[in-house]
Amino acid sequence: MAKAMRFLAGAALAAGLALPVWAEEAPTADTVVATVNGTAITLGHMIVAREALPEQYKSLPPDVLFKGILDQLVQQTALEQSMEGKLTRRDTLQVENDKRGYVSSRALEAVVLGAVTDEALQAAYDARFKDAAPQTEYSASHILVADEAKAAELLTQLEGGADFAELAKANSTDTGSGANGGDLGWFGLGMMVKPFEEAVVAAEVGKVVGPVKTDFGFHLILVKETRIAAQPTLDDIRDELAAEIEQKAIEAHVTAITEAATVEKPGEGIDPALLGDLTLLDK
């Protein structure tokens, strides 16, 4: 044992400056932290693995995280090696699809990276609102019932002086608004189904209209107030505009590179039903 210890000490001494490499040279992404049957696991592999972790795991102490990630990569590498030559056709195709999906998503990330600028946001905002006509918003209540005869009966009661909110609470099948006396709050054009919207726009404030038929049933509608909608500021819809800009940039880029590519489709005559034939993967 003493001889073995002397050998190890001698080997370390003979290595000269080999021991403090990490101390003398700053580690890089290419720094090898482990090998598994000769396959290197680098610090870069570990950094990428950490970045993919859920946030709650990233908050673990660095020493705990380092050991956990390294152990996982060692195990995964050993398992990967154990499958060499054993992957099925389905496995290989899945790996190809996963790589294609990842690389294409990275390409799109690069496209949107510089797309959202202050100038682009202002242009998108101006395009939407600069010449936009003022929009009316409506505050209304409704009573929804399943058949027209019931709606007509309730309308007669309302015309006789019955309270709209109380009838809504007692009769509306829209239990959400019904519990609030039929109140739908404020809404603008495009937020309600077409027949309902058209009736609201044509209605006089304070006068019940209906029955109005929609796919939900028959409505009695009371428009209580109208107002001109306040135009949102750029900051109010910054995220919405940014998403719109990014989507347009992606669509333009995908269209451009697809049109520039040489695309051939020799399989256009294949029966689409074959997509469900998993036995083809075993042939």
pLDDT along the chain (283 residues), means of 10: 36 38 77 98 97 93 96 98 94 96 96 93 92 90 97 96 96 95 95 96 96 97 94 94 96 97 92 93 83
- Using CB atoms within 10 A of its CB, is residue 157 exposed (0-12), middle (13-18) or buried (19+)? middle
Domain tally for the chain? 2
Q: So what's the pLDDT on residue 149? A: 96
Q: Which residues contact 231 (CB under 8 A, 6 or more apart)?
A: 129, 132
Residue 262 counted as domain residue? no
Residue 6 counted as domain residue? yes
d(CA 54, CA 57) in angstroms, rounded, equals 6
Boundaries of domain holding 161: 136-228
Amino acid identity of 173? Answer: T
Q: So what's the pLDDT on residue 282? A: 85
Q: So what's the pLDDT on residue 6? A: 37
CB 112 within 8 A of CB 249: yes
Q: Is 162 helix (H, G, I), strand (E, B) or coil?
A: coil
Same-domain check for residues 146 and 79: no
Q: Which long-range contacts (CB under 8 A, 24 or more apart) does 258-266 make?
A: none
Residue 185 counted as domain residue? yes
d(CA 16, CA 2) in angstroms, rounded, equals 22
Amino acid identity of 16? Answer: G
Residue 110 counted as domain residue? no
Beta-ladder partners of 221? 142, 209
Determine if the pTM surpasses 0.75.
no
Residue 164 counted as domain residue? yes
Torsion angle, CA of 114/115/118/122, rounded to 10 degrees?
170
The two tokens of residue 171 are 């009769």
CB 196 within 8 A of CB 221: yes
Report the b/e string of 67-89 with b at 16+ CB within 10 A.
eebbeebbeebeeeeeeeeeeee
Residue 98 counted as domain residue? no
Last residue of a domain, one of 86, 120, 152: 86
Residue 100 counted as domain residue? no
Residue 133 host element (H or E): none
Q: So what's the pLDDT on residue 11? A: 35
Sheet with 208-214, strands from edge to edge, namely 183-187, 136-145, 217-228, 208-214
CATH number at residue 161: 3.10.50.40
Closest Cα to residue 101, out of 93, 91, 89? 93
CA distances from 216 to 158, 186, 192 (A): 21, 20, 12
Same-domain check for residues 142 and 211: yes
Task: Give how far the C-alpha of residue 76 lies from the chain's centroid of Cα atoms, to the nearest Å.
Answer: 29
d(CA 242, CA 171) in angstroms, rounded, equals 44
